[in-house]
Amino acid sequence: MSEPLSERSSPSPSPSPSPTPSAAPPSASPSPSPSRTSPSRPERPCVTELRLSAFAAHRGARFPLGPLTLLAGPSGCGKTSALRAYEALARLGGGAALDEVFPDPGACVPERARPDAQHRRGFRIGCTADGPHGPVRLDLAVQAEPGLRVVGERLTVGGRVLLETALRDPRRRAVQATWYTAGSTVVTREALPDDRLGTALLPLRVAGKTDGQRQVLAAAEQMVVALRSVFVCEPRPARMRGPAPVGTGRLMRGCDNLAAVLRRTRTECGRRHGLLVEAVRAGCAGPVVDVLAEPVGDGRVRAVLDRGDGVRTGFERLGDGELRYAALALVLLTGPGVLDVDPVGEVPAALQTLTVLCDDFGTGLDPRQRDELLRLAARMCERGHIRLTGAVSDGAWAGEVGEAGQGRVVDLVR
């Protein structure tokens, strides 16, 4: 069968998933077992590298990700598409279907990619998740045209391929999966759906009876835990100015319901709320004694700044920069219980890391607000329970993040 993602539409970085892997089983050569931990490995699984082998404007791109990473470069250099790829992997790790994650898959195919003889084009993305079981690589090949489907996936640890899938029969809505067993048979073969990430399905398919199966489960679970707890933050000031229904008190990605979340956080955790007030005081004009939510009737509340002299300034009077600043500060000072994310319920929160993805991180902020927000981000990321990957157009001011020790700037135009 011809390769659905031809060399013309996708480079072949090594290693990357092949849509038509050989029939040979995953290597059984000795390699470090993912069940053995090392003191130098992070206790909380986290994504440490994003790979865009062929995605939108990117070819053969690798982005190292630290606790605080800012992708820098002018408009059109691919910052947004990189964050979009990260979010896509996160949603696939949570079990979402391909058509939910890629509603416009054609936009993910490199612009000059030509179809193969079967008129197929696609894209390749991947990542590395580090954690107690060492670095785990995930590489994914997706066919976008003529139909959206997974055509190749590979999960690797220490050079050993633990899971590999391939599209064998284009007429079937399934891929052939092979995973490491190391029992009476070296590998197990089974058909998996071609519209889901196979790695996310493994905990439901692998029994864990042999050492090999336990290695597969450990690697898959580490990858899923690293990907799942992601919050995409896209503050929309125009929608943050109006009253919000009390609801569940979980902050949405657009921060439309900021007022309702402030009402909740102010009553639930006084210490964190005090830190938020300090942050808002540093980034907003005029005196700020408190940040709170006032009821306005019909089960709605509005956010206000208490100026301390009997005057309260509603958020509807704040500028776009002040609103974006306040929303991002709130996100950095809270966690999965407050943000609208889908963490792994079977894993204790203490063993998970929340990753915040924020495009246009510094947009609308003045130099004072940018510096304060950057310092807050560095301080929170240093604690280890939260990570931030954002995009900025000006790498010069963002370069200061390197001084925080936990941060790095990735310049996309170099």
- CB neighbours of residue 36 within 10 Å: 11
pLDDT of res. 186: 84
Contact predicate 234/49, CB 8 Å: no
- CB neighbours of residue 82 within 10 Å: 27
264 and 208 both lie in a single domain: no
In a domain, 11, yes or no: no
271 and 377 both lie in a single domain: yes
CA distance 90 to 106: 20
271 and 153 both lie in a single domain: no
92 and 176 both lie in a single domain: yes
Of 173, 195, 229, which closes a domain? 229
172 and 280 both lie in a single domain: no
pLDDT of res. 2: 32
311 and 223 both lie in a single domain: no
122 and 266 both lie in a single domain: no
CA distance 62 to 249: 37
CA distance 376 to 279: 8
pLDDT in single tens digits along all 414 residues of the chain: 333 333 333 333 333 344 333 333 333 333 444 444 455 677 889 999 999 999 999 999 999 999 999 999 999 999 999 999 999 999 999 999 999 999 999 999 998 888 988 889 999 999 999 999 999 999 999 999 999 999 999 999 999 999 999 999 888 999 999 999 987 778 899 999 999 999 999 998 898 889 999 999 999 999 999 998 899 999 999 999 999 999 878 899 999 999 999 999 988 888 889 999 999 999 999 999 999 999 998 999 999 999 998 899 999 999 999 999 999 999 999 877 788 776 666 665 656 789 999 999 989 999 999 999 999 999 999 888 899 999 998 878 776 665 555 678 898 887
CATH code for position 70:
3.40.50
- What is the span of the domain harbouring residue 76? 46-229
Produce one character per residue of 232-242: b if its CB has 16 or more CB atoms within 10 Å, e if not.
bbebbbeebbe
200 and 260 both lie in a single domain: no
CATH code for position 386:
3.40.50.300
In a domain, 91, yes or no: yes
> Quick one: which H or E segment has residue 370?
helix 367-382
190 and 262 both lie in a single domain: no
In a domain, 27, yes or no: no
Q: How many separate domains does the chain show? A: 2
In a domain, 33, yes or no: no
Question: What are the helix and strand counts (H, E) for the chain?
Answer: 10, 17
Of 185, 211, 229, which closes a domain? 229
In a domain, 7, yes or no: no
Of 175, 199, 229, which closes a domain? 229
132 and 253 both lie in a single domain: no
CA distance 144 to 11: 16
In a domain, 29, yes or no: no
247 and 366 both lie in a single domain: yes
pLDDT of res. 399: 67
- CB neighbours of residue 105 within 10 Å: 20
CA distance 335 to 262: 13
pLDDT of res. 193: 96
Q: What token pair was written down for 57?
A: 């404007």
Q: H helices within 186-342, ranges in order?
A: 198-205, 211-228, 237-240, 258-268, 270-283, 320-333
339 Rama sector, left if φ>0, alpha if ψ -120 to 50, beta otherwise: beta
Pairing of strands 68-72, 121-130: unpaired
Local structure of 391: helix, strand or coil: strand
CA distance 266 to 293: 9
In a domain, 133, yes or no: yes
CA distance 11 to 126: 14
Question: HEC profile for 314-359?
Answer: EHHHCCHHHHHHHHHHHHHHCCCCCECCCCCCCCCHHHCCEEEEEC
In a domain, 110, yes or no: yes
CA distance 293 to 30: 59
257 and 129 both lie in a single domain: no
Hey, CA dihedral for 99, 102, 105, 109, is it positive or negative? negative
